[in-house]
Amino acid sequence: MPSELKSPIVRAFFDRPTGSLQYVFHDPATLRAAIVDPVWNYFPEAGAVSTESADEILAYIAEQGLTVDWVLDTHPHADHFSAGPYLKEKLGAPHGIGEKVTGVQKLWSKIYHLPDLPTDGRQWDRLFAEGEEFMVGTIPVKIMFSPGHTLASVSYVAGDAAFVHDTLMMPDSGTSRADFPGGSTEDLWNSICAILDLPPQTRLFIGHDYPAADAAPRYMATVAEHRASNKHVKDGISKETFIQTRDARDQTLKLPARMLEALQVNIRGGRLPDPEADGRSYLKKPIGRFDPR
């Protein structure tokens, strides 16, 4: 790997109920940092929310003496609420996502019948375009449009670290699903091929792991490791074989338990609907829109 490629320090945080991985990466030279895909905890049985995962991130930032430049979403998640607005308020850092999020907003606002929802991305401070770059300290961060899991997904390539969200799993688990509205198995293949064209020692930090109750999550493998052993996309597997394997697997999967709540929060940038006359927010479910599995 070229010597000039910067290497951020990466700390992973795990939300076990949803299998979601959150990250803080920082520049060791300047202690400037960014947060990727933070979780706002939601308990569907009670309709309750809490900030324990985001507060764990805040405690780490304070302990390390970091200054946070960005709070970043890779896409509107289907399994957890985004804690982006909460961390923005606590840290004063702007909240960003890829510019194609407007397509997700338009799609899901129709599914939820939310005709008054703004679908121009105004819920975020910055909508990043493909190929755009910004700095976190001395570390350049490049936006890589990575659709397939959703039509809006982006990866953040920060020096020798790439945050590739719900594209890849760990090599022995393969890849993530592409069967949600707006998803595409072919787009996912093309996105993963672009990711695996990064330098071989690039560290790829994934969006989910589902370990046993007594086991720690795994969340990083290099480009070289994925190309050698990822069971869905290792070198030698064709596009046609991948699409057939991924589509067959997706047909067996249930919807995430929190999906119908999470997406109507996340298309609002991680905010609940406006309170009604009694001061409480309420979430909708489109009855009969999805088939049970």
The tens-digit pLDDT sequence of the chain (293 residues) is 344 789 999 999 999 999 999 999 999 999 999 999 999 999 999 999 999 999 999 999 999 999 999 999 999 999 999 999 999 999 999 999 999 999 999 999 999 999 999 999 999 999 999 999 999 999 999 999 999 999 999 999 999 999 999 999 999 999 999 999 999 999 999 999 999 999 999 999 999 999 999 999 999 999 999 999 999 999 999 999 999 999 999 999 999 999 999 999 999 999 999 999 999 999 999 999 998 86
pLDDT tens-digit profile of 61-98? 999 999 999 999 999 999 999 999 999 999 999 999 99
pLDDT tens sequence across 204-222: 999 999 999 999 999 999 9
1 burial type by CB count under 10 A (0-12 exposed, 13-18 middle, 19+ buried):
middle
Whole-number Å distance between alpha carbons of 266 and 154: 15
Please list, in sequence order, all residues whose beta carbon lies within 8 angstroms of the beta carbon of residue 102, skipping any fewer than 6 positions away. 119, 120, 121, 127, 152
pTM here? Answer: 0.96
The contacts of residue 248 (CB under 8 Å, 6+ apart) are none
How far is Cα 188 from Cα 172, in angstroms, rounded to an integer?
18
Amino acid found at 25: F
**Cβ contact 191:167 at 8 Å:** yes
157 in Cβ contact with 198 (< 8 Å): yes
260-to-11, 131, 141, 286 alpha-carbon distances in Å: 29, 31, 32, 8
| Under 8 Å between Cβ of 292 and 257 | no
Q: Where are the domains of the chain?
A: 9-266
Q: Which CATH superfamily is domain 9-266 in?
A: Ribonuclease Z/Hydroxyacylglutathione hydrolase-like (3.60.15.10)
User: How many contiguous H segments (helices) and E segments (strands) does the chain have?
Assistant: 7, 15
Tokens coding 91: 């840290």
